Structures are given as C-alpha cells and as structure tokens.
Structure 1
Amino acid sequence: MNLNVKLFIISLFISVFTNAQIGIEKESIDGSGLVDFPEGTTRGIILPQVTNNLNMTDTSAGTFVFDGASSKVKYYNGADWIELTGQTGASKTLLVGTEQDRSAGVIIGAPDSTAKGVLVLESNDKALILPKIIDPATNVKSPSAGMMCYDPVAKLVCFYNGTNWAFWGNIE
C-alpha cells in the first residue's frame, strides 16, 4: 500500500476518534469544555442577529439569537422562544438583510449535525465555556447588542440587549 494512502487512513482514524476542544487565545481548556476563552477578557460572544425570530423555520432546540424586531436576546427550547432580556434594547448593530444561512454553519465536536445554526457545538460530554468577564456592565466599554458572557465573581450569565444588561443566575 502506498505510504501516502497509509498516512491518509491513519489521519482519518485519528480525526474521527479525537475529542476536539478549542481554546480561543489560550493553550489549554478548563475542564471538559468544548470551546473556552481566556481569563481577563472584556470580549464576549455576540449572538447571531436575526430580523425577527418568529420568521425562523426548522429551528433547533438550544438556539440563541438577538431578535432585531424586539431588540431582545432569545432562546428556543424546542417549542417556544424564551426572552432572556426583560427590557427592550437597541438593535444599533443589526445589519438589515444580512442574516446568516443557518444551514451552512460550522460544527465543532462532531463530523455532522442535524441542528441548524451559524455555530453548532455537538458533544455528549463537553460544553461551551462562556467568556469570563468580571462585572461586564462596568468593564465592557462598548458592548454590542446580543453579547453574552459569564461573570465568575457574581456567578451570573450576562446578556446585553443594546441598551441594558440582563443577568441570569442566583442573584443574592
């Protein structure tokens, strides 16, 4: 058998059986994260911005978007859209007419997926580790509408709707 063919087969098996983990601006992943971000950052994840989430079809459970019609961050639980930011925000960063083709996204953690999205994370034992930002309402100077992060001191998931921050977790 040709050496190149052997190397190709070996690399194919390695890629199939490797548990992919991605560190953004860091060399090691914390715990069992699928995607992880650096400590001390002031940059969060910007959720996909859609003109109106109600116009989305074939939506997968677990989808997060910034809805331009209501200027709110929303989550789809498989049956209903759940608002994660109580007050209406501002869609100043929404680009009208530039919605992403959700069927042509990037899949991390698996060779394919039935889920539709710009970024699909697939794993049975790994999860997304949100960017950790201490007090994002103070430390992120110019957040974009649809920004999402985790405050490790307050232990809150934080969403910015273009005007206000919303916080999810055990607020004491």
Structure 2
Amino acid sequence: MKNIITAIAVVFVSISIHAQIAIGKQAVSNTSVSLEFDTTENRGLILPYVETKTGITENGTIIYDVTDHKVKYLKDTGVWANLSEDDGTAATIGTADIAIQTLKTDSNSAKAAIGTTAATDTTPGVLVLTDANKAMVLPKVANPHLSIINPAAGMMVYDTTKRQLAVYNGTVWSFWKP
C-alpha cells in the first residue's frame, strides 16, 4: 500500500513527467499506455471531488460531482454525462464526505502531466495525459463490488469478471458496458 501511495504522490507532486507511468509495478506492459495500474491489489482510481463545474471546459474530463453525488464526464462543451445513475431511492443515491477538502484552498496551477508533450501542455486539469496515441488503463479488479471492502465515492475500476467499467457513487456501484 505504501508503494501505491508513494507512486500516486510522485505523480501529483510533479509538474510534468515525460514518460509512461506504472503505479504499483515496475513498468507498463504496453507501449500504447501512458498510465497503468497494477492488477494484484483491489484498489481503484479515485476521481477529483468537484463542488462546481463552472470553468471546466475540456471534453473528456471525468469528475465526481458532489452536488448530486454522481461520477460524470464532459461529453461535449457544457454537456455532462452521468456514469453513476441512481433510481432516486435512498438506497442508490451517492454520498461523500467532503469535509476534509472544504477547508483547503485549491491551487489553480497544480497539475501533473504525463506524456511526450507534458512540459508544454496547457490543458487544464489535475492529471493530464498528453499523448494522442496512448491511453490510461484503469485499475483492474475482479468483482469490485465484492472485492473492494471500503470503496471511496468517485472510485473507478475495470471489472475483469463482467468486463465492464465500474464506478462507485458512495453508495452503489454502476457498471457500464460498451
């Protein structure tokens, strides 16, 4: 666990990185990958908790929206698509404790960029993958709804059993299949 926390801290503390990044393992397994997570532990990627979407304009941005407790991505300028739906009942509406972040001041210039154009990239975001020919591989977890004991709101993984994207809204997992 210390290795994963250390690796994530290194990524976010860096202003820019010019390489492929493996978290929880020695190297990426594919040259088409910018950021890849180890598959040996039941952990996921936790998205930024966002209190207001004002000013977010970069299509493809993925966030955890604390106003309605849903994981969302910016599909088209001003059009947010939900990745974690609920049926409106208390059993499925997401929750998140954001008390720890409400006392903090955001740094608008804080950013980690990974890729060959990281040093010159001006795309807004906390973590930006700059290569146009590489992707991020989500953490892979078999049955995350059973395997991840205490998931955080905004967690995202690839479910290797169902072969689906899985997102957690703080209450329930939603599964997405293309």
- TM-score normalised over the length of structure 1: 0.80
Residue 153 of structure 1: how far off its partner (Å): 2.3
CA distance, structure 2, for counterparts of residue 99 and residue 129 of structure 1: 30
Runs (5+) with no aligned partner, structure 2: 1-16, 87-92
2:83 partner amino acid: L
Identify the range of structure 1 (98-107 vs 25-34) with the bigger mean alpha-carbon deviation: 98-107
Partner of 1:49: 49
Q: Deviations over 1:1-28 (max 9, x none)?
A: xxxxxxxxxxxxxxxxx97211112122
Partner of 1:69: 67
Q: How many residues align?
A: 151
CA spacing shift, 1:43–1:102, aligned 2, 3 Å: farther
The answer to whether structure 1 residue 23 and structure 2 residue 29 are counterparts is no
Of 159, 168, 171, the match for 2:176: 168
Greater C-alpha Rg: 1
Identify the range of structure 1 (94-103 vs 156-165) with the bigger mean alpha-carbon deviation: 94-103
% identical aligned pairs:
36
CA distance, structure 2, for counterparts of residue 51 and residue 126 of structure 1: 30
Task: Check whether the contact 2:43–2:139 (CA below 8 A) recurs between aligned residues.
Answer: yes
Task: Check whether the contact 2:48–2:154 (CA below 8 A) recurs between aligned residues.
Answer: yes
Runs (5+) with no aligned partner, structure 1: 1-17
CA distance, structure 2, for counterparts of residue 150 and residue 26 of structure 1: 17
CA distance, structure 2, for counterparts of residue 168 and residue 100 of structure 1: 31
Partner of 1:89: 94
Task: Check whether the contact 1:93–1:145 (CA below 8 A) recurs between aligned residues.
Answer: no
Residue 58 of structure 1: how far off its partner (Å): 4.3
Partner of 1:106: 112
2:40 partner amino acid: G
RMSD of aligned C-alpha atoms? 1.9
Task: Check whether the contact 1:20–1:34 (CA below 8 A) recurs between aligned residues.
Answer: yes
- TM-score normalised over the length of structure 2: 0.77
CA distance, structure 2, for counterparts of residue 40 and residue 143 of structure 1: 16
Partner of 1:6: none
CA distance, structure 2, for counterparts of residue 102 and residue 50 of structure 1: 13
CA distance, structure 2, for counterparts of residue 22 and residue 162 of structure 1: 28
Residue 103 of structure 1: how far off its partner (Å): 3.8
